[in-house]
């Protein structure tokens, strides 16, 4: 039988439409089925996050059993991985979100993710894209086993419990920061009270504060006096004679008061005349 003239074809990377390179993923060495990852160099100019454009690899279709540690281990064979981001859909960096204590952090969504893998060297991007598509990346190995199914649920359940010592440390740290803030606020209020303290004549010393800060020339006593004046002013402006009968009653009382004053003045004048002390001119 004549020898075959067919030459062995060298394994090469598989590039699909859209500029993505296909990578095969295999859970373990004895697994039959394979999973497909799609990678592409991240070059979104509008992205204002901290992802460098020349060292970031964009990955699609990451399965739920691949955590950040697993993804880091898989792509470490192409070069040193700086950090990994996993999210539900492509978007801005998650580093802008406020940090939350792990004790109050909600459970992560279980599903397929997209990832941003930032390498330390730009040559790692080319190495990952040139990886043969028929050579799968193995997830679970003897050195780095990955648990799934019931074993994974048991591990997650055990990890959900937090030791009392760790909780106590977090609480103590929070209370120390709280006490420091309260002491600073009390010290600030004390300084302001000293600056705004009135002297014996009621004057308030107005000092120039920091640049951009507004000085407060009024103390607590001055604020109370101003408030009392506003209350009196408001009472004077209140409409007392709203009804007609109230207005007539007020007029009658005013006339009666004037008549009484007139009679008192007449009696005083008569008494002064009797005493010959009246001097009209």
**Sequential DSSP letters for 119-161:** ESSTHHHHHHHTS-TTSPEES--SSS----HHHHHHHHHHHT-
| pLDDT per position as a tens digit, 20-64 | 888 988 888 888 888 889 998 888 766 666 788 888 999 998 988
Alpha-carbon distance 73 to 25, whole Å?
13
Of 158, 127, 104, nearest in space to 55 by CA: 127
More confident call, 201 vs 223: 223
pLDDT band at 1 (very low <50, low <70, confident <90, very high): very low
pLDDT for 265: 92
> Tell me: the pLDDT tens digits for 227-277?
888 888 777 666 666 677 777 888 899 899 999 999 999 998 888 888 776
The pLDDT tens digits for 171-186 are: 899 899 999 999 999 9
For 192, the token pair is 């302001």
Four-CA torsion 64, 70, 74, 79, nearest 10 degrees: 130
How far is the C-alpha of 51 from the C-alpha of 59, rounded, in Å?
Answer: 14
Q: What CATH number does the domain located at 14-142 have? A: 3.30.70.330
CA atoms within 13 A on the CB side of 150: 0
Give the chain's mean pLDDT: 78
Regarding predicted confidence, which is higher, 106 or 124?
Answer: 124
111 band by pLDDT with thresholds 50, 70 and 90: confident
Which structure tokens are listed for 75?
């792509």
pLDDT of residue 197: 64
Residue 88 to residue 60: CA distance in whole angstroms:
10
Percent of the chain with pLDDT over 90: 15
Amino acid 164: pLDDT:
86
Largest CA distance in the chain: 166
Could you tell me which residue, 247 or 85, shows the higher pLDDT? 85
Average pLDDT over residues 192-220: 58
The confidence score (pLDDT) of residue 59 equals 92
**How many angstroms separate the CA atoms of 218 and 199, rounded?**
12
What DSSP letter does each residue of the chain carry, written as one string?
Answer: -PPP-PPPPPP--EEETTTEEEEEEESSTT----EEEEEEE---TT--SS--TTSEEEEEEE-TT--HHHHHHHHGGGS-EEEEEEESSS-S-GGGSPP--TTSPPPPPPS-EEEEEEESSTHHHHHHHTS-TTSPEES--SSS----HHHHHHHHHHHT---HHHHHHHHHHHHHHHHHHHHHHHHHHHHHHHHT-B-TTS-B-----STTPPP----HHHHHHHHHHHHHHHHHHS----SHHHHHHHHHHHHHHHHHHHHHHHHHHHHHHHTT-----
Burial tier of 216 (Cβ tally within 10 Å: 0-12, 13-18, 19+): middle
122-136 average pLDDT score: 88
| Mean pLDDT lowest among 72-81, 113-122, 155-164, 236-245 | 236-245
* pLDDT of 6 higher than 60: no
């Amino acid at each position: 039988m004549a020898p075959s003239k067919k030459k062995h074809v060298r394994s090469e990377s598989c590039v699909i439409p859209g500029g993505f390179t296909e990578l095969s993923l295999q859970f373990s060495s004895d697994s039959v089925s394979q999973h497909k990852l799609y990678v592409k160099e991240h070059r979104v100019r509008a992205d204002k996050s901290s992802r460098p454009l020349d060292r970031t690899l964009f990955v699609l279709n990451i399965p739920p059993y691949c955590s950040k540690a697993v993804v880091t281990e898989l792509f470490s064979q192409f070069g040193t991985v700086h950090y990994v981001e996993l999210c539900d859909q492509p978007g801005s960096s998650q580093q802008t979100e406020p940090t939350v204590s792990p004790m109050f952090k909600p459970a992560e969504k279980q599903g397929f993710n997209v990832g941003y893998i930032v390498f330390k060297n730009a040559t790692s991007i080319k190495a990952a894209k040139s990886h043969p598509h028929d050579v799968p990346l193995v997830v679970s190995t003897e050195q780095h086993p990955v648990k799934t199914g019931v074993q994974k649920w048991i591990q997650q359940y055990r990890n959900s419990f937090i030791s009392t010592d760790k909780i106590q440390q977090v609480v103590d740290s929070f209370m120390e920061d709280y006490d420091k803030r309260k002491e600073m606020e009390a010290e600030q209020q004390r300084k302001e009270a000293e600056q705004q303290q009135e002297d014996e004549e009621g004057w308030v010393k107005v000092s120039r504060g920091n640049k951009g800060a507004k000085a407060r020339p009024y103390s607590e006593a001055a604020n109370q006096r101003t408030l009392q004046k506003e209350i009196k002013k408001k009472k004077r402006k209140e409409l007392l004679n709203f009804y007609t009968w109230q207005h007539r009653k007020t007029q009658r009382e005013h006339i009666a008061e004037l008549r009484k004053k007139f009679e008192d003045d007449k009696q005083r004048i008569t008494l002064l005349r009797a005493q010959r002390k009246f001097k009209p001119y």
